[in-house]
Amino acid sequence: MSAPATTTATSARGTGAGLRRPSAVGAFGIGATFIGTTIGAGYASGQEILQYFVSFGPVRGPIALAIATVLFFLLGWAVLWLAHRLRTDDIHDLVNPVDSRWPTRFVDLSITVSLFGTLVIMLAGAGAAIELQTGIPAIVGSAIMAAVCVVSILAGTSGLVIVQKIVVPLIIVVAVGVAAWAIVNAGPSTGQAAADMVNSSPLINNWMLSGVLFVAFNIQLVYAVFAPVGKESKGGLTLFSGALLGALGIGVMAGAMVWALSANAAVVGTADLPMVELAATIAPWAMVVYTIVLLLAQFTTAVSCLFGSVERFRKAGPITKLPNWLVAVLTGALAVLLSAIGFSSLIGTVYPILGYAGLVIIVLLVATFIVRHRRGELSGPHSEDRAVRASSDA
């Protein structure tokens, strides 16, 4: 799962490139934004793919991924269409079918937990990556990453967008490249089922639910990013095609990783960073390259999430009186302590919890879509278009 640059960091998590207010975004641009927004450090590490799909075996796992791909398309298109028809870039307008405060409060709480939870996971992942390469204890590596993130947000994050725009394509290239190599060069079967050799989440016991939860926690960022994209887009076929291209891209890349990790389950086993382990089978340099790209992804994700967490925490009670630097340091320190739980364990618990919260948001989105449709707000010309036509007729 990815997070935008600091301009939108208060809405989600991951390495998706920060967005400026778009104008008439085409289908390819929408699809690329969808992919870049969704694919982040947790995805690139292979741990998400391992727990959500590979752990359910060679049949149920791919079917769960197919379900996730379809849901990505449907929900992505729904967000784009709602934002376009309602002419809004506010995510609260897309998930509030009853014009009440409680849906927006729930969404805000979910986003806050998502931001901080993902910060903890990214620090844990960075610690695991640094330990794998250098032997330095993971908690020390997590503390180093946290310190760099704190300094970054206090010094200014204007360069973060540029870094994110470079990191996302790199993630795609190295992840797909390593997966393709691992598929072609898979070792002989051990006779043991892949699902029995890899990590699984104690909170995901059903393969169909797994695909839904994978979408539910990843799609939360898409709401925030797609709202301005949908508002300014040309609409119609462009929105449909863009959502379809993005969902297919996410599904195909995840499919390649599922295939590679399943075929090499004996190699990755219960490793914290399974795709790094696969890269190591190519050559030591490939492992180093993959680790560097992964650390960059974790850094951009962590900075965005730390920024968003600090902004939200500073609005809470007595914390409002504390200086910004102190809130940042305390947030980073708490995240480091929690990162000691471990990268794999955190992904297996925090992300499913966020996924269950995301299910509620999906219900709110669907309910909003239905309510707005019944009101006639999603069909016929926009109110502003009708006004233009009326003036033209006059």
pLDDT per residue as tens digits for the range 148-161: 999 988 876 556 66
| pTM for the whole structure | 0.82
Q: Environment class of residue 4 by beta-carbon count within 10 Å: exposed (0-12), middle (13-18) or buried (19+)?
A: buried
Please spell the DSSP secondary structure of 85-154, one letter per residue.
Answer: HHT---HHHHS-TT--HHHHHHHHHHHHHHHHHHHHHHHHHHHHHHHHHH---HHHHHHHHHHHHHHHHH
What is the pLDDT at residue 14? 42
Amino acid at 129: A
For 287-318, write each residue's pLDDT tens digit: 999 999 899 888 888 888 898 888 888 877 77
User: In terms of Cα–Cα distance, which of 273, 207, 268 is closest to 67?
Assistant: 207
pLDDT band at residue 340 under the 50/70/90 scheme: very high
> If we measure between CA atoms, which residue out of 135, 297, 278 comes closest to residue 127?
135
Q: Does position 267 have pLDDT exceeding 90, yes or no?
A: no
Q: Identify the CA nearest to 367 among candidates 66, 151, 78.
A: 78
Q: Write the pLDDT tens digit of every residue in 146-202.
A: 999 999 888 765 566 666 677 778 888 899 999 999 999 987 665 566 677 777 788
Give per-residue pLDDT as tens, 217-242. Answer: 888 878 877 888 888 877 678 899 99
* Dist. CA 12–CA 226, nearest whole Å: 12
pLDDT of residue 19: 39
Neighbours of 330 (CB within 10 A): 15
- 3-state secondary structure (DSSP) of residue 191: coil
User: How large a percentage of the chain has pLDDT more than 90?
Assistant: 40
CA separation for the pair 265, 260 (Å, rounded): 8
- When pLDDT is averaged across residues 5-27 and rounded to a whole number, the result is 48
**CA-only gyration radius of the chain, Å:** 21
Residue 13, pLDDT > 50, answer: no
Phi-psi region of 323 (alpha: psi -120 to 50; beta: other; left: phi over 0): beta
Kindly tell me the sign of the dihedral angle through the C-alpha atoms of 24, 28, 34, 35: negative
Q: Phi/psi class of residue 386: alpha, beta or left (left: φ > 0; alpha: ψ in -120 to 50)?
A: alpha
**Interval 119-133: pLDDT, tens:** 999 999 999 999 999
Q: For residues 258 and 61, give the distance between their C-alpha atoms in angstroms, rounded to a whole number.
A: 8
Which of 189-193, 205-209, 258-262, 349-353 is predicted with the least confidence, judged by mean pLDDT?
A: 189-193
6: pLDDT strictly greater than 70: no
Alpha-carbon separation of residue 387 from 52, 128, 232, 246, 392 (angstroms)? 49, 58, 18, 34, 9
pLDDT per residue over 246-260, tens digit each?
Answer: 999 999 999 999 999
